[in-house]
Amino acid sequence: MAKLPPKPIPLHSTAGVADGHLDTHKAQAKGLMRWLLTTNHKEIGTLYLLFSLCMFFVGGIFALVVRAELFQPGLQLVEPEFFNQMTTMHGLIMVFAAVMPAFTGLANWMIPLQIGAPDMALPRLNNFSFWLLPVAFTLLLSTLLMPGGAPNFGWTFYAPLSTTYAPPSTTFFILALHIAGISSILGAINIIATILNMRAPGMRLMDMPLFVWTWLITAFLLIAVMPVLAGVITMMLMDINFGTSFFNAAGGGDPVLFQHLFWFFGHPEVYIMILPAFGIVSAIIPTFARKPLFGYASMVYATAAIALLSFLVWAHHMFVVGLPLVAELFFMYSTMLIAVPTGVKVFNWVTTLFRGSISFESPMLFALAFVVLFTIGGFSGLMLAIAPADFQYHDTYFVVAHFHYVLVPGALFAIMAGVYYWLPKWTGHYPNERLGQWHFWLSVIGVNLTFFPMHFAGLAGMPRRIPDYALQFADFNMVSSIGAFFFGISQLLFVIVVIICVRGGKKAPAKAWEGAEDLEWSVPSPAPLHTFETPPRFERSS
């Protein structure tokens, strides 16, 4: 972050002007304090993205510990207890500290620019919700050093594993998750307030770019389900420390209730991690196909439909807990129903590409890989949705393959596509195209090498969350582990691309990509610290 644009003096007609100097509200903080106190949406967006990048590598190292242990059957490197801590922390860090903050960071940077607002609606709250995150995850990571070790019950923290049989550090885990949850909720409130009230005059809801739309719906999902997560972990806290029995059968509670409550949060949560990705891809594909997005309205309605359906499918994670037949059928069909709006989206992206003048710059490559590989993840999801078949797949590596396909080449590739797409706007320079292409191809090979063999291992019956496995899975696991290290190391290239791009490179004009149409491309590159102080005139393109 060496070369940041100096803060320009805001041109307000305030009292300060009269005494001959411009009022800058308050003394401009320098150095570290500038970042600690900033209320600027662009700076906070940058903070979110940098935090997410760091956590991506922390979570990645945990994953590599897991993959290193699984390179061969037998126990070689770590104790099983530590292995369990690694799988748990990998999941928690990637979900709550890498993917979610990355999307919030992109939202902070891009939503005000895309709707023509000067900043987020609640800038100070914005600062607070970011700075909660380092606190939360320092706390969470510190559990690794505590007696009894870090949480070891999987990222889904099923009771009674996470209550009766949990390590003493669980209380810290609960606190960390509470803080991270508050951060997400405050972020969501801010985003809703910004989108609903701060749009440029003349911009109707149905004129908003899809990234804004998907984030609006995501923010509603966050407000609806993060409090449920907060409720669940509060109940856990009380079961552990205050002798209640929410999830303890001895006291009249029910451990299955935990799973219902958790997945009532957990399923919308997976859409929280993918809807903004849909928005990013819906911005990039039309740009590089040089055609307007096919079926804009149907994209909006499909997103809303996915969000609504996400509340009705939670028990498909629980097909084997002993649900009655009616419930198995209901959750099976409602889950399959989600494939319809998702199919609409994939159809629209493909149709946008049809007869477009396509060019294949790095953002487009990542977006196209997203469409293909996310669809593979979607199909394995459909396979898992079949309740009778799920009895075979449940808790196997097939599930691991499925959700990594939707999260890594899904959410993560979309984030990377977004970063490559908007870097010219953030830094004023194009990312190095040759390195970007290398990063893309290495990532695609790495992802598939890592996760594709997991399908086969899972179908053959390899259970997830185990440090050792039967000999017949050895080859698949060796390929996966090689792929994981390959993928992990190739992400260092991404850091190099970003650093080079911040320091210099080919200068980008305001409209950095030929086919880009949204409002953010009307401000100069790099975007000055303060934009749209006077609202732009929004002109409808159609």
Partner 1 sequence: MVTHRHAQRIAVKRTVIRSVAALIGMFAFAFALVPLYDVFCQVTGLNGKVSNSAQQIAHQSVDEDRYVTVQFITRGSAGLPWQMSVANHQLRVNPGEISEINFTFMNHSDKESLGRAVPSVSPSEASQYLRKINCFCFDEQKLNANQKLMLPLVFQVVRELPKDINTITLVYTLYPVNGKEISLVHGSRDKKGDTI
Residues that bind partner 1 (CB under 8 A): 121-122, 185, 188-189, 192-193, 196-198, 223-225, 227-228, 230-232, 235, 246, 249-251, 254, 256-257, 260-261, 264, 322-324, 327
Q: Are 177 and 109 in contact (CB under 8 A)?
A: no
Residue 107 C-beta: closest distance to partner 1, Å: 15
Which residue among the candidates 129, 214, 282, 525 is catalytic per the annotation?
282
| H or E stretch covering 455 | helix 433-459
Would residue 183 show up in a list of annotated catalytic residues for this protein? Answer: yes
Sign of dihedral through CA atoms 322, 324, 328, 330?
negative
397 is catalytic: no
Cα 299 versus chain centre, distance: 20
Q: Least CB distance from residue 501 to partner 1, whole Å?
A: 34
- Asked if residues 314 and 330 have their Cβ atoms less than 8 Å apart, the reply is no
Q: Shortest approach of partner 1 to residue 259 CB, angstroms?
A: 11
Under a CB-based contact definition with an 8 Å cutoff, are residues 105 and 120 in contact? Answer: no
DSSP 8-state assignment for residue 394: T
**H-type alpha helices, 143-274:** 170-197, 210-241, 255-272
| CA dihedral of residues 490, 496, 497, 500 (deg, nearest 10) | -170
Residue of 41, 199, 267, 394 marked catalytic: 267
Query: Is the CB of 264 or the CB of 476 nearer to partner 1?
Result: 264
Catalytic residue (one of 169, 342, 443, 480): 342
Q: Least Å distance between CB 159 and partner 1?
A: 13
At its nearest, how many Å lie between partner 1 and the CB of residue 411?
24
Q: Enumerate the β-bridge partners of residue 463.
A: 396
Q: What distance in Å separates the CA atoms of residue 71 and residue 479, rounded to the nearest whole number?
A: 8
Active-site residue, selected from the candidate residues 213, 263, 271, 314: 271
Q: Is 317 a catalytic residue?
A: yes
In terms of CB distance, is 81 or 254 closer to partner 1?
254
214 is catalytic: no
Taking the complex as a whole, the smallest distance from the CB of residue 522 to partner 1 amounts, in Å, to 20
267 is catalytic: yes
User: Quick check: is 90 catalytic?
Assistant: yes
Concerning whether 81 is annotated as a catalytic residue, the answer is no
Dist CA 247 CA 297 (whole Å): 44
Q: What is the DSSP letter of 4?
A: P
Under 8 Å between Cβ of 442 and 486:
yes
469 annotated active-site: no
* Measured distance CA(105)–CA(423) in Å, rounded: 13
List the Cα angle 89/129/135 in 5-degree steps. Answer: 45
Q: Which two tokens stand for residue 510?
A: 């305001």
For partner 1, the closer CB: 20 or 252: 252
C-beta closer to partner 1: residue 78 or 189: 189
State yes or no: is 429 an active-site residue. Answer: no
455 catalytic per annotation: no
Query: Based on CB atoms, which residue is closest to partner 1, 193 or 482?
Result: 193
Q: Which is nearer to partner 1, 255 or 295 (CB)?
A: 255
Which one of the listed residues 42, 199, 316, 402 is annotated catalytic? 316
Q: Which residues are catalytic?
A: 90, 119, 155, 183-184, 267, 269, 271, 282, 316-317, 342, 345, 464
